[in-house]
Structure formats: C-alpha cells, structure tokens
Amino acid sequence: MIARLNGTLIEKNPPQIVIDCNGVGYEVEVPMSTFYNLPEIGHKVSLLTYFVVREDAQLLYGFGTAQEKTTFKQLLKVNGIGAKSALSILSGVSIDELVQAVGLQEVAMLTRIPGIGKKTAERLLLELKDKLGAGDLSPAANQAKSATYDILNALVALGYNEREAQAAVKVLDKEISVSDGIKQALKSLSK
C-alpha cells in the first residue's frame, strides 16, 4: 500500500498530477480542493495517498489533509459510490458542506455535484448519517447551519456564483437570522 508521496511536482492537469519521487513519476488523481492548494510545478509536495487495485487498473488518489483522505474512504463504503464519484464529491463540496448536507439531510446540495443524481444523493445521506459526525450537531448548531445554508441558496438564486456567495456568508455572524444575513451579504457583495 502506498500511504504517502513526497517529491517534486512535475505535471498538473486537473484532476491528475505527476509527482517525481527519486526518479519515479507517480500519476495521482486529486480532488480540486487539494489541487488548488498545490505549489507551482518544480516545487516539493507531500500528499497522503489511497491506492486502489482493480482488475483492469491500479490507481493512486492523493489528498492534502488526513480529513480529506478519511472522508474519501467513508464515501467509498457507500453502496454505488466508486473512487471517481468520491473524488467528484470532494471536488464539488467542502467536507464541512458535506457534513452539513448529511446533518440536515439536504439532497439538493449533493445533486448539484456532477454525476450525483437524486437517488445517489439520498443513499449518501442515509449511509453517511452516523459516519461523518453530523449526528453530533446540537439543535442550535443545526439551526445556525440551516440559516447559513438558506442565505447561501438565496444569494445563488439572486445570480451570484457559489464562490462569491460562500465568501459573503463566511464573514457573517453564525447566529444571524436569514433575512438579516441576506441583507448583510448583499451589502458586502455590492462593495
């Protein structure tokens, strides 16, 4: 099993990268969250890896954090989710957003990820419910997360892209009401 790679980044073609480790180039597929945090080509890089051996291929997946790798492994345990789908999920939403979606049983958040339909999203929510720590959320935390999610959805519905909306929501007070949160987020986005 290959658990970690330390070497020089020599190629970046999303979602694949190549890491040179003492003259051996390892082709590694990474989620976009890891890809965006990679150094420039020619610099040293260290990734946690997960090695998949199939009948027709041997594939290596890389992660910038232990939390990403653990979540990837949890996703693989869900019936019908393979490595490509798990990588797509980690590229489509942050781990915090995934935990929030599972905790609030939000099918809509998961169906926005390419390749994830309604039935797959429902299966994910059901099978991950007790595995991602979402069951530990208190009712107050669930309400705050729900308000944040509602504010985010409102901003996207108003035409802002998801990245802009998330940046605006991050600076809001965690216990803000939905209407006040939307007003404050719109003010910060209009600057």
The predicted structure's pLDDT at residue 135: 45
CATH number of 4-63: 2.40.50.140
- Higher pLDDT: 166 or 125? It is 125
Tell me what pLDDT residue 47 has: 96
| CATH architecture assigned to 139-190 | Orthogonal Bundle (1.10)
Report, as an integer, the average pLDDT of 72-96: 91
pLDDT at 138: 41
pLDDT of residue 136: 44
CA distance 185 to 164: 10
More confidently predicted of 100 and 10: 10
pLDDT at 96: 85
Q: What SS3 class is residue 12?
A: strand
- Assess whether the region 4-63 and the region 67-136 belong to the same CATH fold: no
Helical packing angle, 66-76 and 83-92, nearest 10°: 130
pLDDT score of 140: 47
**Residues 108, 112, 118, 122: is their CA dihedral positive or negative?**
negative
Model confidence over 128-185: pLDDT tens digits? 987 775 444 444 455 556 677 788 878 888 888 877 888 888 888 877 888 888 888 8
Question: How far apart are alpha carbons 7 and 9 in whole angstroms?
Answer: 7
Fold of 67-136: DNA polymerase; domain 1 (1.10.150)
Q: How confident is the model at residue 74 (pLDDT cuts 50, 70, 90)?
A: very high
At 189, the pLDDT band (50, 70, 90 cuts) reads confident
What integer pLDDT is reported at residue 173 of this predicted model? 81
The structure tokens 């190629």 sit at: 11
Q: pLDDT for 20-59, tens place per residue? A: 999 999 999 999 999 999 999 999 999 999 999 989 999 9
* pLDDT of 14 above 80: yes
CB 12 within 8 A of CB 41: yes
Quote the DSSP letter at residue 104.
Answer: H
H or E stretch at 178: helix 178-190
The residue extents of the domains of the chain are 4-63, 67-136, 139-190
